[in-house]
Amino acid sequence: MSTTTTHAAPSAAATISTGRLLYWSVQRELWEHRSLYVAPLAVAALILVGFTIGLVDLPAKLRTAAAAGGMEQRALVEQPYTFAALLLMGTTFVIGVFYCLDALYGERRDRSVLFWKSLPVSDVTTVLAKACVPLFILPLLTFAVTIVTQVCMLLVASGRLIGTGLGVWSQLSFGEMTWTLFHHLVLGHGLWYAPIWGWLLFCSAWARRTPVLWATLPLLAVGLVEKIAFGTAYFGNWLGSRLMGGPADPAPAPDNDHGVSMTMVGITGSTPGQLLISPGLWIGLALTAIFLALAVRLRHSRGPA
Amino acid sequence: MACVEARGLRKAFGSTVALDGVDLRLSEGRIVGLIGPNGAGKTTALNAILGLMSYEGELRVLGRDPWRERDALMRDVCFIADVAVLPRWLRVSEALASLAGDHPRFDRAKAEGFLAKTRIAPGSKVRDLSKGMVTQLHLALVMAIDARLLVLDEPTLGLDLLFRKQFYDALLGDYLDLNRTVLLATHQVDEIEHVLTDLLFIDRGRIVFNHTMEEVEADYQEVLVRPEKVAEARTLQPLHERDSLGRTVMLFAGASRERLVSLGEVRTPTVADLFLAVVGGAQPAAAREGAAR
């Protein structure tokens, strides 16, 4: 078919690289979902206000902590910073959930998908751009906001302590905290949670309405059927370990004790090395790939809702 | 060179057949009106052409399979689905930046030029614009894309007369040239008929009329029949007959002009009259009933 080749020639010259297409697709996601960065910034501001008000009795607290000594002292000093980090993490996790549920559903609901599909951007690029947000952008953004918040907290705390002879910098291993936070966010919230993000995006592409129900009810149903049929709770435990734990318990372990703890080191159950070689992570990523592939297919075949 | 080529195009939604074996060939450089009643399959046909919907049968748009290669096809095709598909959160400046970012044929300066003629501010969001302005914005974006095929599906639906006129004036004055093909679906026929080069009627999933405007002018005549000639005129088997202000108007296809002139005043039918005759004629009961009232 010679007409095809003569036709295709001018278009081929005017292609735009996949990287650039992906960049602009991600950019549009950030324009559309301003809450992705507004919400963590608002929470950070609240934390700073609360922390500053709470500084009044800081010298007294530090003296109590010094009296306790050792690990307990460290835990007491670290506590507000860890709390800030956890609060920001929780915020961006919730935002990530709502983002994913809306990502492929909202564009069908308001029919803007008809505009996006008039652009020379493939469904694969679009879905990948949307997946990039919870997988990479949110963890990195949370990391940046948390670090800035913690540095501000340290600065105001230091200001409060001028003239008291006390200090916080010396009592905090800030470098270690930062590193722990970084790999917890990037590996944990990004990659360990990847199948959760993939599932939510799939539900968002699938649902004709209320994607939140499609995302939760089938999981509840599976757990319930398992409980009724076999009297076991493997599925629920597996989900729980995916949400709360790291790869240290790839098999269901109800006595999961390292999931949530209030120190920076405690929030991650495993080292980056352990996580990267754990089969749980890679099984999760394979599952993510399947969910995303299904989401691409659905975006291709589904018209506006 | 065929811009759109379809053979046996079929699409069913459950038991409803939306497209029932459409054969179609649109040449480049034509301005084609796709006209049909509601539910005739217009939007389904356009969705198939734009790669938004799967189909049975054969379909090539600019030599590509739209269902498999939508993203590549969209470098050369652009469309306005209908009003209000621009996302409400989008800022005008963001629309310009992102199109400049990922559309290889988008000319930002050109779009800004078109927008400068409107009252749309670069900082405004789509949700703050009126319905007419959203359409103006969409048209400005689309006209700044150097595409080979432009598809418009009821682009002026819900707009007032002034905006509709501006829309088609802008399209005609600033956009059309010999290399571009426009496929336009609408049922507001009277506003576009002077623009069109080709006329397609679609009814119940089938193309029931497919002629160039030259063919229409040469072959179709409407006669304002003198009362005493009505019986004689009927023997010539008009396509359609209606009453207009007490006079009988008949539409003839391929009749000799000399013969028709003897029956009454002869004129070229409007697209609307033609549509009523061809498509309305397929539903004689309803059409006659309407005419009798």
Q: Kindly state whether residue A285 falls inside one of the protein's structural domains.
A: yes
What gap in Å lies between CA A23 and CA B72, rounded to an integer? 18
Check residues B135 and A296 and name the one with the higher pLDDT.
A296
The pTM for the full model equals 0.86
Q: Residues for chain B: how many in total? A: 293
Contact B202, B153 (CB under 8 A): no
pLDDT of the residue at B128:
94
| Percent above pLDDT 70 for chain B | 94
Amino acid at A165: G
Q: Kindly state whether residue A127 falls inside one of the protein's structural domains.
A: yes
Residue B215 has pLDDT above 70, yes or no: yes
Residue B228 has pLDDT above 70, yes or no: yes
DSSP symbol at A9: H
- Please indicate if any CB of chain A lies within 8 Å of the CB of B125: no
Candidate CATH numbers 3.40.50.300, 3.40.50.150, 1.20.1050.10, 1.10.1200.10; the one for domain B2-204: 3.40.50.300
Residue A305 has pLDDT above 70, yes or no: no
pLDDT of the residue at A68:
75
pLDDT of the residue at A204:
95
Residue B280 has pLDDT above 80, yes or no: no
Residue B127 has pLDDT above 60, yes or no: yes
pLDDT band at B186 (very low <50, low <70, confident <90, very high): confident
- Please indicate if any CB of chain A lies within 8 Å of the CB of B99: yes
pLDDT of the residue at A268:
57
Other beta carbons less than 10 A from residue A126's beta carbon: 26
- Closest-CA residue to A138 (of A245, A48, A35): A35
pLDDT in tens, B6-35: 999 999 988 889 999 999 999 988 999 999
pLDDT of the residue at A280:
85
pLDDT in tens, B1-12: 689 999 999 999
Residue A207 has pLDDT above 80, yes or no: yes
Burial tier of B182 (Cβ tally within 10 Å: 0-12, 13-18, 19+): buried
Residue A2 has pLDDT above 80, yes or no: no
Is B75's CB within 8 Å of A21's CB?
Answer: no
Domain-wise residue ranges, chain B = 2-204, 215-292
Q: Kindly state whether residue A74 falls inside one of the protein's structural domains.
A: yes
Check residues B150 and A15 and name the one with the higher pLDDT.
B150
Q: Average pLDDT for residues B112-127, to the nearest whole number?
A: 92
pLDDT of the residue at A138:
95
Average pLDDT, chain B: 87
Q: Kindly state whether residue A1 falls inside one of the protein's structural domains.
A: no
Query: Minimal Cα–Cα distance from A37 to chain B, Å?
Result: 16
Q: Average pLDDT for residues B149-162, to the nearest whole number?
A: 86
State both tokens at A73: 């002292």
Is B98's CB within 8 Å of A114's CB?
Answer: no
| A225-239, B35-49, B177-191: range with lowest mean pLDDT | B177-191
Contact A103, B56 (CB under 8 A): no
- Closest-CA residue to A199 (of A275, A294, A106, A114): A294
pLDDT band at B83 (very low <50, low <70, confident <90, very high): low
- Please indicate if any CB of chain B lies within 8 Å of the CB of A301: yes
- Please indicate if any CB of chain B lies within 8 Å of the CB of A71: no
> Which chain B residue has the Cα nearest residue A6?
B63
Interface test with B, best of A16, A114, A127, A299 (most B CBs within 10 A): A114
pLDDT of the residue at A168:
77
ipTM of the complex: 0.86
Q: Kindly state whether residue A250 falls inside one of the protein's structural domains.
A: yes
Contact B236, B252 (CB under 8 A): yes
Please give the tally of structural domains in chain A.
Answer: 1
Of A11, A23, A110, Cβ closest to residue B72: A11
pLDDT of the residue at B172:
80
Is B76's CB within 8 Å of A114's CB?
Answer: no
Q: Average pLDDT for residues B72-89, to the nearest whole number?
A: 87
pLDDT in tens, A217-269: 999 999 999 989 988 888 888 888 888 765 543 333 333 333 333 344 444 55
Interface test with A, best of B46, B60, B102 (most A CBs within 10 A): B102
B291: Cβ contacts below 8 Å, ≥ 6 apart:
B242, B243
